[in-house]
Amino acid sequence: MQTVRVHNFAISLDGYATTLNGSRHHDFAAAGDTNIGATIMGGNMFAEIHGEWDERWNAWWGDAPPYQHPVFVLTHHPRESIEMSGGTTVHFVSDGIEAALEQACDAANGADVRIGGGASTIQQYLRAQLVDEMHFVILPMLIAAGQRLFDNLHGAIAGYECVELVASPPGVVHVRIARSPTGGG
C-alpha cells in the first residue's frame, strides 16, 4: 500500500527542527529510505539545499543528490522543472499541498511519498490529515530557537500514536508515530 510519510526529520531535545540529518547518526534512518518514490518539500527547504548543494549534500551522499526520484517543491511562483544529476527531476507546484501530493503519488508509481520538510510543510500536511506515518530523530542537543516540529497543529497530532521508539549510540532517539486505529483518516 502506498503511504505518505515523513522520514528522518531531525529535531533537538527542546523540539526544534535542526538542519542536521539524522541519518548521519544511525543506519536505521537510511534503511527507511527504501521504497520512497517521490519527495515533497517546501520552497525554503529546497532553496537552502540547492544553494549549499556542493558543500553540504555531497559530503554525506557522494556525487549525486540524495534523491533518485522526482522531487516536488511547493512554491507560490510557477517555474520550469529542472533535471539534476543522479536521476532527480525537480518539479515546482504552485497550486497547493493536495495538488503536490496527487502529483507525487502518481510519480511514485506505487512506492511511498515522503514529506521532506521543513517543519511548516510537515505541519500543513499533518493538519490536513494527509500523513500516514512520521519518523523523526531526536538529537542530543539543545537549540533554543527556530521552528518546532510539533507546533501549529491545532490538535491534529492527537490522532497519532507512538509505534516505535529506539535509542542508539551516541544518544540519538528514533521515533515513529502512525495514525492510530481510532484516529483520523
Q: Does 164 bind its own copies (CB under 8 A)?
A: yes
Which residue, 65 or 118, has its beta carbon nearer to its own copies? 118
Give me 103's grid cell: 502529483
Name the minimum Å distance from CB 130 to its own copies: 17
Instruction: Give the angle subtended at the CA of 59 by the CAs of 147 and 73, to the nearest 5°.
Output: 45
Give me 96's grid cell: 497547493
Name the minimum Å distance from CB 182 to its own copies: 13
**x/- letters, 49..68, toward its own copies (CB under 8 A):** --------------------
Q: Does 20 bind its own copies (CB under 8 A)?
A: no
- Which run of H or E residues covers position 106? helix 97-108
SS percent in the chain: helix, strand, coil, step 5: 30, 30, 40
Q: Does 128 bind its own copies (CB under 8 A)?
A: no
Contact 112, 130 (CB under 8 A): no
Name the minimum Å distance from CB 173 to its own copies: 5
CA 160 to chain centre: 17
Binding-site ranges for its own copies (CB under 8 A): 13-15, 138, 140-145, 148, 150, 153, 155-158, 160-162, 164-167, 171-173, 175, 177
